[in-house]
């Protein structure tokens, strides 16, 4: 279910007029520790382990599970609960401090098995899973026992971190140990993984940090990158008091690093320490800001008036040392690239955009909580499920901050279970006892595991509401369980699905021009998308007098002498077309394609089911290899009626002109072979402008030449070429012709 909203001026001004602050820690209803951080264009992600299993008088850590969080605005956090549980996965003893990275839509976690028995490696399509082994080679560990390589002699084979560089290269660090028991720079190891991200390149190597002061390295190794510089950070030892998070810098992720200072001291405010006997952190950049996540003892110490929640065994006032909390604050750099020491705050970072209520949210999405508990239902191989359990006879609420209701909200929907009558949710503004906007009395489902939707009307919710409260009321505690909620309103419009370009579905049998993919819909959700593009720049616009053929999509469409083609294709990109198949049966698919290399490939699917295997695009020989279109074909079976055809790029650097379906198996190509789109060649005597791009799409050079052959020669002789790694792409501005040149060293 998705609840949707129009784009309003309030939404366009997200971040202006927000003026709200988060409260540390990010969760107040369970004990969390050892955070790691990552971010993509949409969300900031945090993983933590959990001190919940430790009894109130625990004298040691009892850690078995990882929790996952995400936020769009750095104030309102969605808690997905337990995303990976060692108690339910064979072969894992425990799960302590772990590292997370996200790259090209895939999430990766490295975790210590049993607190030091090796490093595990898992991946998933989302922070909430489902997670699966990513090690490869028939191994269940990356490092250590049952792993591909050994722990390389570090004292403690744990606290792994994972870093994926801009080019997709992955690095994993691990290790630690008492600083006086080993050489000071021998505590940590690092290994580079291959392109498949499932095997090390060689063995690990010890990380060296030069110019260290007396405070020594202990644990919690971590790598991040800022403006081309690599930062290696870690927790220091206990010899000089509470550990700090220190760091060094390098121009190589493998090091060596040079020590520069302290990122984070012992978390304290107003002279009162909220840390204790260790420190751990994660760092990520998000929407132009840098943030550090860390753990402290705010809840167990009752800091800033926080409710000191009982330990998991139900007993109050748990041991502070083994019942930690996770917080986040913004991190700033000096002009020379060094890091200013982070100031730990009660408020946390400023909210960076307004919260959109017109969506469907997991129940534990909030900026602050009181009088609530939660339950995770982890099943290996499935997405995480996390349920809110209000203590409804007490003061029990969630707060959501900086909420942009636009024109006005008219309704609230909640998915919840209720094992009693008269359980209700009040929607209030300003405070938990503030102005009442609506009340939802939950349906009695007879059980806390049977869910139903309840809808209710709301009023007075418009514009930006600084503080919104969902207040839980009932006669008995723990008789309701809430799974998800969302708002509807007068500004809401239902999603418009994608529609055929020009308003008419493509006929099969027949030809489909690839530049005329479906118009995307409007609203929220994947069902409205008609394309996926790796970057927002239309690299083909210059071939069309600087104008994009499909404005706003970023799809790279080039104008050629005979029409438009889709080029600059990279793996993972896709285009969709509404098609109408005349009758069920066998068809032969022909695709007009071009490539200057051997890496290009694609596949086709209908309604999310593959109808072809991966189809390789042959290399065209000669100077005009991206203008000479040949044919590839495949036999397919199609069902009559209207469908969504998806073209998915599976290998980089190919161009495609059209796809044609012909009735019958092994049918002949209806196009006369001499009539295939002819190459467009420049007059040999007319000079043209050629642009050179690296593989990230960044323009690195421009010059004039009379032919592509001359352009290649000029680029090879250009000293700038040696600064471009791998393959560079040369494009003729006049006709869109493309050639690729590999850098040789």
The CATH number given to whatever domain includes residue 40 is: 2.115.10.20
In the structure, what pLDDT confidence band is assigned to residue 277 with cuts at 50, 70 and 90?
low
Task: Characterize the bridge pairing of strands 209-210 and 257-264.
Answer: parallel
pLDDT given for residue 93 in this prediction: 81
Summarised one tens digit per residue, pLDDT across range 401-412 is: 999 898 899 999
Q: Using the 8-state DSSP alphabet, how is residue 342 labeled?
A: P
Residues 232 and 164 in one domain: yes
pLDDT given for residue 642 in this prediction: 95
Summarised one tens digit per residue, pLDDT across range 384-395 is: 999 999 998 889
CA dihedral 4, 8, 14, 19 (to 10 degrees): -100
Share of the chain above pLDDT 70, in %: 85
| pLDDT higher than threshold 70 for residue 683 | no
Rounded mean pLDDT, 177-203: 68
Contact (CB, 8 A) for 466 and 20: yes
Residues 520 and 649 in one domain: yes
pLDDT given for residue 18 in this prediction: 40
Nearest to 590 by CA among 701, 673, 697: 673
Burial of 455 (0-12, 13-18, 19+ CB in 10 A): exposed
**Cβ neighbour number for residue 444 with a 10 Å cutoff:** 17
The torsion region of residue 124 among left (phi > 0), alpha (psi -120 to 50) and beta comes to beta
- State how many domains the chain has: 4
Helix (H, G, I), strand (E, B) or coil at 431: coil
Query: Kindly report the CA angle at 470 between 468 and 475, in degrees rounded to 5?
Result: 150
| Lowest-confidence segment of 146-160, 252-266, 373-387 by average pLDDT | 146-160
Residues 610 and 641 in one domain: yes
Residues 110 and 198 in one domain: yes
| pLDDT higher than threshold 90 for residue 259 | yes
Phi then psi dihedrals of residue 9, to 5 deg: -60, -30
Residue 134 lies in a domain: yes
In the structure, what pLDDT confidence band is assigned to residue 715 with cuts at 50, 70 and 90?
confident
| pLDDT higher than threshold 80 for residue 719 | no
Domain end: 631, 647, 675, which one?
675
Residues 472 and 510 in one domain: no
| pLDDT higher than threshold 80 for residue 260 | yes
Q: Using the 8-state DSSP alphabet, how is residue 336 labeled?
A: T
| pLDDT higher than threshold 70 for residue 737 | no
Which residue would you say has higher pLDDT here, 496 or 39? 39
pLDDT given for residue 4 in this prediction: 31
Residues 413 and 371 in one domain: yes
Contact (CB, 8 A) for 287 and 75: no
Helix (H, G, I), strand (E, B) or coil at 346: coil
pLDDT given for residue 9 in this prediction: 28
In the structure, what pLDDT confidence band is assigned to residue 624 with cuts at 50, 70 and 90?
low
In the structure, what pLDDT confidence band is assigned to residue 738 with cuts at 50, 70 and 90?
low
pLDDT given for residue 736 in this prediction: 52
Residue 7 lies in a domain: no
Residue 567 lies in a domain: yes
Residue with tokens 């030449």: 705
Residue 348 lies in a domain: no
In sequence order, the β-bridge partners of residue 100 are 109
Residues 191 and 90 in one domain: yes
Residues 737, 689: Cα–Cα separation, whole Å: 11
In sequence order, the 6+-apart residues with CB closer than 8 A to the CB of 609 are none
| pLDDT higher than threshold 60 for residue 622 | no
The CATH number given to whatever domain includes residue 548 is: 2.60.120.260
Residues 703 and 613 in one domain: no
Rounded mean pLDDT, 414-427: 96
Contact (CB, 8 A) for 558 and 680: no
| Lowest-confidence segment of 116-120, 124-128, 272-276, 431-435 by average pLDDT | 272-276
Domain end: 449, 466, 489, which one?
489
| pLDDT higher than threshold 80 for residue 147 | yes
| pLDDT higher than threshold 60 for residue 676 | no
Residues 48, 99: Cα–Cα separation, whole Å: 9
pTM of the model: 0.66
| pLDDT higher than threshold 70 for residue 700 | yes
Residue with tokens 């534990």: 364
Rounded mean pLDDT, 243-253: 94
In the structure, what pLDDT confidence band is assigned to residue 714 with cuts at 50, 70 and 90?
confident
* Chain CA centroid to CA 213, Å: 37
Summarised one tens digit per residue, pLDDT across range 489-535 is: 866 555 678 999 999 999 999 999 999 999 998 654 455 789 988 77
Mean pLDDT of the chain: 85
pLDDT given for residue 678 in this prediction: 34
Residue 191 lies in a domain: yes
Residue 99 lies in a domain: yes
Residues 598 and 515 in one domain: yes
pLDDT given for residue 523 in this prediction: 55
Residues 207 and 323 in one domain: yes
Which residue would you say has higher pLDDT here, 118 or 588? 588
Residue 336 lies in a domain: no
Residue with tokens 């004039």: 704
| pLDDT higher than threshold 90 for residue 431 | yes
Task: Characterize the bridge pairing of strands 372-376 and 386-390.
Answer: antiparallel
Share of the chain above pLDDT 90, in %: 53
First-to-last alpha carbon distance for the chain, in angstroms, is: 54
Domain end: 619, 654, 675, which one?
675
pLDDT given for residue 184 in this prediction: 59
Residues 571, 573: Cα–Cα separation, whole Å: 6
Summarised one tens digit per residue, pLDDT across range 470-489 is: 999 999 988 999 999 999 88
Phi then psi dihedrals of residue 305, to 5 deg: 80, 15
Rounded mean pLDDT, 631-641: 93
Residue 737 lies in a domain: yes
Residues 56 and 198 in one domain: yes
Rounded mean pLDDT, 109-135: 89
Residues 84 and 145 in one domain: yes
Give the helix/strand (H/E) hosting 11: helix 9-12
Helices marked H in 425-482: none
In sequence order, the 6+-apart residues with CB closer than 8 A to the CB of 7 are none
Tell me the residue range of the domain where 166 lies. 21-331
């Amino acid at each position: 279910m998705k609840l949707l909203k129009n784009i309003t001026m309030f939404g366009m001004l997200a971040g202006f007029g927000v003026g709200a602050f988060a409260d540390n820690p990010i969760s107040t209803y369970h004990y969390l520790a050892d955070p790691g951080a990552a971010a993509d264009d949409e969300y900031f992600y945090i993983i933590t382990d959990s001190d919940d299993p430790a009894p109130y008088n625990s004298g040691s850590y009892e850690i078995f599970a990882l929790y996952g969080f995400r936020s769009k605005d750095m104030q309102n956090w969605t808690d997905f609960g337990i995303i990976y549980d060692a108690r339910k996965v064979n072969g894992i003893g425990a799960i302590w401090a772990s590292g997370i990275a996200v790259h090209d839509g895939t999430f990766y976690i490295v975790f210590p098995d049993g607190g030091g028995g090796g490093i595990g490696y898992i991946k998933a399509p989302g922070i909430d899973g489902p997670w699966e082994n990513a090690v490869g080679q028939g191994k269940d560990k990356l490092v250590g026992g049952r792993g591909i390589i050994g722990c390389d002699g570090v004292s403690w084979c744990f606290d792994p971190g994972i870093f994926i560089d801009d080019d997709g290269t992955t690095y994993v660090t691990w290790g630690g140990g008492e600083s006086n028991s080993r050489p000071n720079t021998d505590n940590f190891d690092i290994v580079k993984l291959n392109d498949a991200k499932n095997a090390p390149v060689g063995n690990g190597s010890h990380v060296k940090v030069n110019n260290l002061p007396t405070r020594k390295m202990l644990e919690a190794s971590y790598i991040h990158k800022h403006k081309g510089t690599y930062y290696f950070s870690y927790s220091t030892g206990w010899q000089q008091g509470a550990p700090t998070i220190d760091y060094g810098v390098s121009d190589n992720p493998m090091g060596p690093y040079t020590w520069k200072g302290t990122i984070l001291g012992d978390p304290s405010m107003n002279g009162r320490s909220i840390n204790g006997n260790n420190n751990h952190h994660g760092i990520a950049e998000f929407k132009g800001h840098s943030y550090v996540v860390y753990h402290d003892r705010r809840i167990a110490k009752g800091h800033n008036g926080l409710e000191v929640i009982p330990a998991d065994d139900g007993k109050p006032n748990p041991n502070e040392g083994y019942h930690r909390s996770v917080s986040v604050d913004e991190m700033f750099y000096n002009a020379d690239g060094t890091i200013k020491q982070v100031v730990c705050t009660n408020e946390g970072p400023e909210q960076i955009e307004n919260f959109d209520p017109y969506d469907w949210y997991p129940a534990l999405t909030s900026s602050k909580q009181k009088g609530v508990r939660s339950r995770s239902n982890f099943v290996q191989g499935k997405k995480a499920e996390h349920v809110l359990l209000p203590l409804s006879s007490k003061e029990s609420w969630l707060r959501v901050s900086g909420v942009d209701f636009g024109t006005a909200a008219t309704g609230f929907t909640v998915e919840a279970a209720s094992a009693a009558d008269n359980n209700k949710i009040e929607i209030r503004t300003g405070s938990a006892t503030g102005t009442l906007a609506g009340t939802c009395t939950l349906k009695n489902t007879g059980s806390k595991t049977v869910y139903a939707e309840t809808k209710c009307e709301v009023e007075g919710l418009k514009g930006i509401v600084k503080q919104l409260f969902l207040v839980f009321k009932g006669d008995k505690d723990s008789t309701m369980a809430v799974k998800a909620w969302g708002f509807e309103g007068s500004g809401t419009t239902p999603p418009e699905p994608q529609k055929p370009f020009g308003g008419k579905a493509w006929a099969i049998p027949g030809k489909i021009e690839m530049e005329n993919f479906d118009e995307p819909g409007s609203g929220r959700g994947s069902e409205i998308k008609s394309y996926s593009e790796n970057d927002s720049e239309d690299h083909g616009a210059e071939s069309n007098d600087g104008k994009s053929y499909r404005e706003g999509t970023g799809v790279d469409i080039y104008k050629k002498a005979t029409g438009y083609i889709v080029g600059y294709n990279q793996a993972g990109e896709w285009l969709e077309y509404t098609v109408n198949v005349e009758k069920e049966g066998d068809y032969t698919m022909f695709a007009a394609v071009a490539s200057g290399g051997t890496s290009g490939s694609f596949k086709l699917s209908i309604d999310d089911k593959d109808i072809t295997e991966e189809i390789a695009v042959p290399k065209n020989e000669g100077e005009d290899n991206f203008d000479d279109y040949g044919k590839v074909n495949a036999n397919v079976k199609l069902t009559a009626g209207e469908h969504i055809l998806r073209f998915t790029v599976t290998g980089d650097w190919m161009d495609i002109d059209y796809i044609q379906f012909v009735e019958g198996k092994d049918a002949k190509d209806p196009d006369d072979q001499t009539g295939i789109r002819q190459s467009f060649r420049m007059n040999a005597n007319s000079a043209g402008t050629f642009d050179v791009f690296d593989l990230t799409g960044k323009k690195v050079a421009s010059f004039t030449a009379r032919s592509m052959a001359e352009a290649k020669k000029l680029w090879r002789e250009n000293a700038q070429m040696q600064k471009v790694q791998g393959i560079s792409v040369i494009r003729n501005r006049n006709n869109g012709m493309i050639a690729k040149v590999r850098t040789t060293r």
